[in-house]
């Protein structure tokens, strides 16, 4: 399939193609041919919100479908208007919309799309949320706080979604905030496939968790990366989005350190962690994460030379002005497309990740 034109820039900017075909895990390739026979006659409809249309288009191409036509606009007072421009009566509808920045706008747009589909007599509505905003607000760390992730789950359910498909939620427990089925798509295989193609000898690898909250995630990653050893940056944070490195638990001397997290926001945690790893004698430091939130001043920090490569996926769109030489963007479109087909076909989803 062709890449969207906007990504093929030739005008002086570094051209960073989103790596798509190679990221399809091998076991998916065989399923692709046999599946295509049964998929021509379908009541499946795929629509995109405005947050990440490039990803939705890629998913549609993988699935051999056209994106459904939808009119989304904002009135002068900021209210969002959605009209489906084709019938979805009796259809199995998938709405692709990460709730990334601007978070509340994108969330409200998703809710209105869900409501529009429900009122248009869709048989089933699935919210496909590659990046779940408010996911980090998943617990009360002090009194008198909201659990906003739970609130968002309630809002999506109340709007009329029958099912949710989400990528790499910040905590696995967040699936429990929903009373509707949630398919949790892990993007680790996409990143692991890419790392495997780089031929780093396995005895050189150490997987590093940049904070204590993500140790379980890093350990799962390490297991799949030739059962690599683990190290942890024990930082003590004194405020939101402010990081302070204190100590490394484990050993990275002479090794290639692979830092693993679910997202990079301001990049403070991961960059200070990388600085610590270099001090502790790491030969190279890679940063891998699924969600490239990249709030300022992330780009300056990430391109500062501490990281050999920053490997992210396209769950959130990365603006062209935010590209930098160490950045690699992998595509989760095929993974999401395959998951959507299996959900629609009522086939097994979890067998993708075995």
User: Which residue among 43, 150, 224, 283 contacts a second copy (CB under 8 A)?
Assistant: 150
The residues pairing with 233 across neighbouring beta strands, listed in sequence order, are 248
How many chain residues interact with a second copy (CB under 8 A)?
Answer: 40
Whichever of 39 and 184 has its CB closer to a second copy, that residue is 184
Residues 200-229 that bind a second copy (CB under 8 A): 212-213, 215-216, 219, 223, 229
Give the pairing of strands 230-235 and 245-249.
Answer: antiparallel
In degrees and rounded to multiples of 5, residue 61 shows phi and psi of: -65, -45
The residues pairing with 89 across neighbouring beta strands, listed in sequence order, are 122
The candidate with the shortest Cα–Cα distance to 133, out of 167, 157, 158, 160, is 167
User: Which residue among 89, 144, 240, 321 contacts a second copy (CB under 8 A)?
Assistant: 144
Residue 155 interacting with a second copy (CB under 8 A): no
Cβ 330 to a second copy, closest distance in Å? 23
- 53: exposed, middle or buried (Cβ count in 10 Å: 0-12, 13-18, 19+): middle
Whichever of 23 and 171 has its CB closer to a second copy, that residue is 171
Instruction: Find out whether 19 and 335 touch, Cβ atoms under 8 Å.
Output: no
Residue 184 interacting with a second copy (CB under 8 A): yes
Angle formed at CA 40 by CA 35 and CA 42, multiple of 5 degrees: 100
User: Which residue among 13, 15, 121, 154 contacts a second copy (CB under 8 A)?
Assistant: 154
User: Which residue among 20, 106, 174, 315 contacts a second copy (CB under 8 A)?
Assistant: 174
Tokens of 177: 């905030």
Residues 238-257 that bind a second copy (CB under 8 A): 247, 249-250
Find the part of the chain contacting a second copy (CB under 8 A) among 35-43, 136-144, 256-264, 332-340.
Answer: 136-144
Task: State the DSSP string of 252-303.
Answer: -TTSEEEEEEEEESS-HHHHHHHHHHHHTT-SEEEEEEEEE---TTHHHHHT
Cβ 342 to a second copy, closest distance in Å? 11
Find the part of the chain contacting a second copy (CB under 8 A) among 70-78, 87-95, 171-179, 276-284.
Answer: 171-179
d(CA 292, CA 123): 33
Whichever of 62 and 177 has its CB closer to a second copy, that residue is 177
Query: Which residues make up the interface to a second copy (CB under 8 A)?
Result: 138-144, 147, 149-150, 154, 171-177, 179, 184, 212-213, 215-216, 219, 223, 229-232, 234, 236, 247, 249-250, 348-351, 353
């Amino acid at each position: 399939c062709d890449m969207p034109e906007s990504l093929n820039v030739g005008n002086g900017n570094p051209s960073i193609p989103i790596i798509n075909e190679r990221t399809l895990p091998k076991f998916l390739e065989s399923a692709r041919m046999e599946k295509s026979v049964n998929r021509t006659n379908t009541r499946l409809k795929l629509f995109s919100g405005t947050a990440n249309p490039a990803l939705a288009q890629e998913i549609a191409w993988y699935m051999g479908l056209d994106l459904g036509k939808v009119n989304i606009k904002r009135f002068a007072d900021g209210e969002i208007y959605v009209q489906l421009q084709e019938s979805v009566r009796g259809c199995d509808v998938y709405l692709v919309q990460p709730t990334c920045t601007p978070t509340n706008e994108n969330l409200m747009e998703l809710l209105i799309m869900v409501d529009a589909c429900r009122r248009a007599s869709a048989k089933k509505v699935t919210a496909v949320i590659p990046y779940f905003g408010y996911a980090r607000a998943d617990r009360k760390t002090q009194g008198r706080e909201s659990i906003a992730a739970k609130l968002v789950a309630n809002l999506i359910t109340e709007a009329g979604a029958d099912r949710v498909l989400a990528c790499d939620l910040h905590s696995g427990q967040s699936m429990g905030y929903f009373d509707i089925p949630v398919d949790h798509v892990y993007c680790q295989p996409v990143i692991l496939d890419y790392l495997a193609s780089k031929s780093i000898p396995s005895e050189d690898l150490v997987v590093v968790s940049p904070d204590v909250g993500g140790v379980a995630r890093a350990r799962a990653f390490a297991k799949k990366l030739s059962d690599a050893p683990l190290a942890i940056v024990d930082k003590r944070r004194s405020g939101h989005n402010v990081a302070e490195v204190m100590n490394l638990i484990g050993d990275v001397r002479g090794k290639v350190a692979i830092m693993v997290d679910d997202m990079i926001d301001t990049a403070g945690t991961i960059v200070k962690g990388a600085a610590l790893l270099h001090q502790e004698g790491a030969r190279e430091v890679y940063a891998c994460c699924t969600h490239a939130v990249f709030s300022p001043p992330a780009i300056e920090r990430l391109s500062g030379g501490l990281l050999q490569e920053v490997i992210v996926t396209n769950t959130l769109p990365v603006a062209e002005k935010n590209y930098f030489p160490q950045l690699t963007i992998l595509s989760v479109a095929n993974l999401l497309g395959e998951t959507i087909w299996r959900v629609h076909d009522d086939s097994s989803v979890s067998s993708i990740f075995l």
